[in-house]
């Protein structure tokens, strides 16, 4: 089966600009998650979709971050306007049965805000 | 609040040695625990998933154990190879389906 696909793999933007990250989960996986790792810190949860609904968005840092999942398929994470502290690696993961099969992660998007 | 700690932060060993990576967590109310590896600039690759009712899981040269009551897991790598060099991450899964990660152990296997 195809894995979790994320793009772009890298993005460099200026402070104040907008960036949109995209994640295509494994086909048939209802659960989709966003995580991020900022420099020197552990990977942290951002939010969880079940199909097109946000199940848990407690990890979203502030209202500059907006996540959507169109029709329960791919998801986008928009940062607007971007700040320097948003730099890091953003990971997407999907799962059909996390308690039994765990999670499959994408390769991540490395975001650099200058 | 769940906290996951991995020790050591970095480890360098000669090829062929057996080694153990440690992971501890503060809240024993977990559903399962997953070990990942991350190669530089790449995503996370799942290695082993241990459900809360299990004590250990094995895959090839890898063996992961789980002791929920003491809040500990270990990842044992037998006969290490240079290709095992990577960062190894431990993550616990709790009721809200959030993964809580440790900071990882950066492993270097020297030929």
Instruction: Give the model confidence (pLDDT) of B53-103 as tens digits.
Output: 899 999 999 999 999 999 999 999 999 999 999 999 999 987 767 899 999
Examine the pLDDT at A100 and tell me if it is beyond 90: no
Q: Is A68 on the interface with B (CB under 8 A)?
A: no
CA distance A83 to chain B (A): 22
**DSSP H helices in A32-110:** 98-101
Confidence of residue A57 (pLDDT cuts 50, 70, 90): very high
CB neighbour burial string for A88-100, b if at least 16 within 10 angstroms, e if fewer:
bbbbbbbbeebee
Question: A25 Cβ partners below 8 Å, 6+ apart?
Answer: A4, A32, A73, A74, A75, A92, A94
pLDDT of B96 reads 64
Chain mean position to CA A50: 14
Record: contact A48-B46, CB cut-off 8 A: no
Q: What is the mean pLDDT of residues B2-27?
A: 95
CB pairs under 8 A between A and B: 62
What is the chain B residue with the closest CA to A6?
B43
Residues of A in Cβ contact (< 8 Å) with B91: 43
Distance CA B63, CA B47 (A): 10
Examine the pLDDT at A1 and tell me if it is beyond 90: no
Point out the residue among B43, B51, B104 whose CB comes nearest to the CB of A91.
Answer: B43
Count of CB atoms situated within 10 Å of the CB of B105: 21
CA distance A114 to chain B (A): 20
Type and span of the H or E element at B86 = strand B86-93
Mean pLDDT of all residues in chain B? 93
Q: Strand pairing of A75-79 and B99-101?
A: unpaired
Q: Is B39 on the interface with A (CB under 8 A)?
A: no
Q: Is B103 on the interface with A (CB under 8 A)?
A: yes
Type and span of the H or E element at B77 = strand B72-77
Residues of A in Cβ contact (< 8 Å) with B45: 105
What is the chain A residue with the closest CA to B35?
A102
Structure confidence by residue, pLDDT tens digits, A37-52: 998 899 999 999 999 9
pLDDT more than 70, % of chain A: 99
Mean pLDDT of all residues in chain A? 93
Distance CA B103, CA A37 (A): 10
Structure confidence by residue, pLDDT tens digits, A4-47: 999 999 999 999 999 999 999 999 999 999 999 998 899 999 99
């Amino acid at each position: 089966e195809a894995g979790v696909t994320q793009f772009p793999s890298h993005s460099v933007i200026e402070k104040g600009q907008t960036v949109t990250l995209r994640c295509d989960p494994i086909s048939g996986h209802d659960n989709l998650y966003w995580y991020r790792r900022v420099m020197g810190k552990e990977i942290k949860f951002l939010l969880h979709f079940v199909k097109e609904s946000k199940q848990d968005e407690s990890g979203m840092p502030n209202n500059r971050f907006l996540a959507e999942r169109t029709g329960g398929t791919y998801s986008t994470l928009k940062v607007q306007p971007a700040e320097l502290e948003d730099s890091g690696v953003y990971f997407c993961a999907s799962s059909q049965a996390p308690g039994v099969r765990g999670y499959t992660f994408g390769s991540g998007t490395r975001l650099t805000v200058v | 609040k769940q906290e996951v700690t991995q020790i050591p932060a970095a480890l360098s060993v000669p090829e062929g040695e057996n080694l153990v990576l440690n992971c501890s967590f503060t809240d024993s109310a977990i559903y399962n625990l997953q070990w990942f590896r991350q190669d530089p600039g790449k995503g996370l690759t799942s290695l082993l998933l241990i459900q809360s009712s299990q004590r250990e899981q094995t895959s090839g040269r890898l063996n992961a154990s789980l002791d929920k009551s003491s809040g500990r897991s270990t990842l044992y790598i037998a006969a290490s190879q240079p290709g095992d060099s990577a960062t190894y991450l431990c993550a616990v899964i709790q009721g809200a389906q959030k993964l809580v990660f440790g900071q990882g152990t950066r492993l270097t296997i020297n030929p």
